């Protein structure tokens, strides 16, 4: 049975769908009322909203979870709702008489209203929780640095609505927890405290080796209405922040797998294709001008082609505007471009300095070989060399390589004449993998446009 909050949230969403449609009618037609088929379209979308939004977890509690993630889920679910509505309208042979401009206004306005309403609601809830109301009291079991890090994270996020009420130190021989909350070393006393102080959550901040302790607490409180959450200390075994997934109907933790979830990869791929298509259309005159300049600057092809590794190590052909004179390299050897490299043409030097030589890679993005944002792909010879020298090097191929990336906007471009430069670049790539979000991609794109296109290390 739906709770009252869930019913109110659903009713508000339906109201916002209708409000966006009326706003679109006012903007497009200077009138709110429209024909019957417009009403049918809006009713269909309202129905699909009620049917599909729960599948995206939008009506679940987002306490302590990313609000930007919630906004992304709402946007994705709303786009899917509109796609379903369009499909039904096509099936009813009504789509051709619906104003496309009105549909665009409606989609944008209702989508904005749905997202803003939730962000405002959670902003209000955040202030309420920061003031000490609507809180979930948490008891933490753990020891050492990981337990203290969990408790500090809760203290630093007052708007999440969690408050640590007590902690049990399971490794007193290592040292005390040094926290501003009641700390126990006796388990029986800790368990009595949980039962008498209305604790809502029990967090087990333990390493995987503490299986007996985990089972003890699960069995102790399994018949009581306390949320028990396992927050494993995986720093010694996981390459990225491990996430729980469902695999063949079983729970699994990713220790050495792509940290980007499947729905994130889908969002990323959809954005990449649309962005690449728009970039190629908008930059077509520039692409033609650069191609002509390259052709006239020196004998040889306009495009430089080279084999690179993509997602999961699949090899593809990368495209760039040729910036060097045609020359031959010894088999298995690749010489990086250096400052004042005599192989680079005058036009090529300008293209490399301004990153214009990278523009043909939007064709790679459109084909699905690359992403707009991701770790830069290296030549196969460099992969063979550095995979043996830099820890975690091959993990960068867990996702598609990008035209730009976190390493590039942080200064790691151009020649890697010292091992420290490559280590810095790989550290940035692994940070990007472990902290990926759609918002981070947008931040990197904006930073690339404003400060990453021209760089003193690009030669």
Confidence bin at 1 (pLDDT 50/70/90): very low
User: Which tens digits make up the pLDDT trace of 220-260?
Assistant: 988 888 889 888 877 666 666 556 666 666 666 666 667 77
- Rounded CA separation 116/213 (Å): 43
Confidence of residue 434 (pLDDT cuts 50, 70, 90): confident
The rounded distance, in Å, linking the Cα atoms of 39 and 254 is 47
Contact criterion met (CB below 8 Å) for 27 and 101: no
Q: For 308-351, what is each residue's pLDDT tens digit?
A: 999 888 899 999 999 888 876 666 566 666 666 778 888 888 88
- Please give the structure tokens belonging to residue 116: 């803003």
pLDDT, average across residues 376-402? 87
Mean pLDDT value of segment 201-209: 87
How high is the pLDDT of residue 251?
62
Task: Kindly list the distances between the CA atom of residue 283 and the CA atoms of 57, 279, 447, in Å, as whole numbers in the listed order.
Answer: 39, 6, 19
DSSP state of 345: -
**Would you say 399 and 374 are in contact if contact means Cβ atoms under 8 Å apart?**
yes
CA distance 38 to 29: 13
Please tell me whether residue 182 adopts helix, strand or coil conformation. coil
pLDDT recorded at residue 264: 79
| Confidence grade of residue 111 (pLDDT, cut at 50, 70, 90) | very high
d(CA 247, CA 398): 18
Beta bridge partners of residue 315, listed in sequence order: 309
Q: What is this structure's pTM?
A: 0.56
**In angstroms, rounded to a whole number, what is the distance separating the alpha carbons of residues 70 and 57?**
9
pLDDT, residue 436, reads 87
| % of the chain exceeding 90 in pLDDT | 27
List, in order, residues 6 or more apart from 37 with CB less than 8 Å away: 89, 94, 97, 98
Residue 246 confidence (pLDDT): 61
CA dihedral for 152, 156, 158, 161, sign (positive or negative)? negative
Mean pLDDT score, 34-44: 75
The average pLDDT across 419-446 equals: 88
Per-residue pLDDT, 289:
95
253-280 burial by CB neighbour count: b if 16+ within 10 A, else e?
bbeebbbbeeebbebbeebbeebbeebb
pLDDT of 44 above 70: yes
The DSSP bridge partners found for residue 305 are 319
pLDDT averaged over every residue in the chain: 83
- Taken in order of first residue, the domains within the chain and their CATH numbers are 4-130 (no CATH), 136-234 (3.40.50.20), 262-452 (no CATH)
**pLDDT given at position 30:** 77
Closest among 186, 192, 183, 250 to 224, alpha carbons compared: 192
* H-helix segments, 132-186: 144-155
Which of 46-50, 88-92, 361-365 has the lowest average pLDDT? Answer: 88-92
Return the closest-CA partner of residue 150 out of 238, 231, 65: 231
Q: How far apart are CA 279 and CA 287, in angstroms?
A: 10
Enter the tokens of residue 311. Answer: 């997602």
Measured CA angle at 410 (ends 409, 412), to 5 deg:
95
Which residues, 6+ apart, have CB-to-CB distance to 169 below 8 Å? 142, 143, 147, 176, 177, 183, 184, 185
Q: Which tokens in the block code for residue 386?
A: 């550095």
Residue 202's pLDDT is what? 92
**Cβ atoms of 321 and 290 closer than 8 Å:** yes
Which whole number is the average pLDDT over 369-394?
Answer: 88
Question: Contact, 372 vs 404, CB < 8 A?
Answer: yes
- Most trustworthy range by pLDDT among 21-35, 235-249, 378-392: 378-392
What is the average pLDDT across 96-113? 90
b/e string for 68-94 if b means 16 or more Cβ within 10 A?
A: eebbbbbbbbbebbbebbbebbeeeeb
Residue 36 has pLDDT above 70, yes or no: no
- pLDDT confidence tier of residue 143, bands split at 50, 70 and 90: confident
Q: Residue 155: is its pLDDT beyond 90?
A: no
């Amino acid at each position: 049975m739906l709770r009252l909050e869930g019913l109110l949230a659903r009713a508000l969403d339906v109201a916002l769908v209708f409000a966006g449609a009326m706003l679109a009618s006012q903007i497009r037609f200077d009138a709110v009322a429209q024909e019957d088929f417009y009403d049918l379209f809006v009713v269909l979308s309202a129905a699909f909203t009620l049917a599909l939004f729960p599948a995206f977890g939008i009506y679940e509690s987002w306490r302590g979870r990313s609000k930007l993630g919630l906004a992304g889920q709402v946007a994705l679910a709303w786009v899917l709702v509109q796609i379903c509505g369009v499909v039904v309208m096509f099936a009813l042979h009504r789509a051709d008489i619906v104003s496309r401009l009105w549909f665009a206004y409606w989609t944008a306005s209702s989508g904005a209203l749905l997202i803003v309403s939730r962000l405002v609601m959670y902003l209000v809830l955040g202030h309420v929780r920061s003031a000490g109301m609507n809180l979930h009291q948490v008891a933490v079991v753990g020891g050492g640095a990981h337990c203290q890090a969990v408790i500090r994270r809760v203290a630093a996020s007052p708007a999440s609505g969690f408050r640590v009420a007590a902690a049990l130190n399971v490794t007193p021989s290592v040292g005390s927890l040094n926290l501003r909350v009641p700390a126990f070393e006796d388990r029986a006393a800790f368990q009595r405290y949980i039962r008498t102080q209305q604790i809502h959550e029990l967090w087990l901040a333990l390493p995987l080796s503490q299986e007996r302790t985990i089972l003890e607490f699960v069995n102790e409180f399994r018949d009581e209405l306390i949320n028990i959450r396992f927050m494993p200390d995986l720093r010694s075994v996981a390459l990225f922040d491990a996430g729980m997934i469902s695999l063949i109907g079983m729970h699994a933790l990713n220790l050495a797998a792509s940290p980007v979830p499947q729905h994130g990869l889908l969002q990323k791929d959809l954005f990449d294709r649309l962005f690449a298509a728009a970039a190629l259309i908008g930059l077509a005159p520039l692409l033609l001008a650069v191609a002509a300049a390259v052709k006239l600057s020196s004998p040889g092809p306009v495009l430089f082609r080279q084999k690179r590794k993509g997602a999961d190590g699949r090899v593809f052909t990368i495209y760039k505007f040729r910036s060097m004179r045609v020359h031959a390299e010894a088999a298995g050897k690749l010489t990086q471009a250096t400052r004042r490299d005599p192989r680079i043409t005058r036009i090529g030097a300008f293209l490399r300095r301004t990153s214009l030589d990278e523009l043909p890679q939007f064709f790679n993005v459109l084909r699905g070989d690359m992403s707009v944002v991701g770790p830069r792909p290296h030549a196969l010879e460099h992969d063979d060399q550095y995979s043996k020298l830099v820890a975690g090097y091959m993990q960068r191929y867990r996702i598609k390589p990008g035209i730009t990336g976190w390493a590039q906007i942080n200064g790691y471009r151009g020649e890697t004449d010292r091992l420290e430069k490559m280590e810095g670049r790989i550290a940035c790539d692994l940070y990007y993998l472990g902290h990926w979000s759609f918002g981070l991609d947008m931040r990197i794109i904006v930073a690339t446009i404003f400060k990453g296109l021209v760089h003193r290390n690009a030669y």
